[in-house]
Structures are given as C-alpha cells and as structure tokens.
Amino acid sequence: MNSSSLHLVIRFSDTMFDVGDVVSNHNEVVKKHKAVWFGKLGGTLSLSRIELLNKQIAQKIPTFVYLVKGNRKKSTPYKAQIFTVTRDFPKTEKDLIPSYYAEKKLLKFMTVWIKVGHIEKIEMDDLKNYKTINSIFPLQESLSRSSSGYFLVHESKSIF
C-alpha cells in the first residue's frame, strides 16, 4: 500500500433511524450489483478532499472507506474499497442504494455518497497505523477524542 495514499473513515449507527443492520443492508445490494452507494449524514467532505480521493482512485491506487460503528469506548470497524465519491445524489444508479434510505426518508439528509464494494468487518488493530491528516494523533485516539463524523487518514509507518 502506498503510505501517502488517503482513505476515508466514517462513523455510522445502526440504531439512529431504526434501519436494521446497515452493513448487511449494503452488502445485499453488493451481492446483486457488485457495488453499493453508502450515504453519509452530517458534515460534508470538501470538494478538494473528494477530488483527492477520486484522483487517487483514477490512478488505480487502492482507496478504502473504514466505517466505524459504535461509541468512543467500543467501536466495530469495517472496510470497503471505494469506487467513487460525490456530493451528488446518484439518480442514475438508484438500484445501488439500499431501500431503507427512501423508506426512512433519509435521502435528502445525505451530504456525500460513496460508491463501494463488499463491506467486511475488520479489527481495530487493523487501523493502528493510521493517522488523521492534520493531526499528530493516531486514528484510534482521534476516534475517542473527537466527535467528528468523518476523518481523512493516511498510513503512518512507525520508525520504532
């Protein structure tokens, strides 16, 4: 993996809108269509950050979203490859959006859409070498200190 490559970390909840198992709902769509749109609520990503991620993807650099469920003390992380990121509602690919977004009237609240592949559960230790950009703290510490809904991260190799 390229140590300068950027990845996205997004917090999410299964309980906030009573949508059931978010990961399973998304993976059902992936089974049928090989991809799914994951909508992000709340604060949006800047256009420059979206452009950075999409440019990296266009250069065939593996780019991932790490979805983190749970609270600051007990989190469950997941990982999926990102195919594209946009602020625009993917109206030509509505079949790639899990039905609960429309059923729960959540579409209008999504500020960013991330098209991803299969979402797999990982361990928090898998994230130990990641740091948020513009921070000296490791990602795990940023997740516990900050209430931010997302982070842009890079892998930081330890020199020790």
Residue 37 pairs in a beta bridge with 115
Query: What distance in Å separates the CA atoms of residue 92 and residue 156, rounded to the nearest whole number?
Result: 38
pLDDT under 50: residue ranges of the chain: 1-2, 159-160
Closest CA to 12 of 87, 61, 91, 68: 68
Q: Closest Cα to residue 86, out of 96, 76, 100?
A: 96
pLDDT of residue 2: 44
Contacts of 72 (CB under 8 A, 6+ apart): 143, 144
**Residue 1 pLDDT:** 41
Q: What tens digit of pLDDT does each residue of 65-91 get?
A: 999 997 656 789 999 999 999 999 999
Domain locations along the chain: 6-155
What is the pTM assigned to this prediction? 0.89
The contacts of residue 20 (CB under 8 Å, 6+ apart) are 14, 100
- pLDDT recorded at residue 141: 74
Q: Find the helix or strand (DSSP H, E) in which 8 lies.
A: strand 6-12
Neighbouring residues of 67: CB distance < 8 A, sequence distance ≥ 6: 9, 10, 11, 12, 22, 23, 38, 77, 78, 79, 80, 119
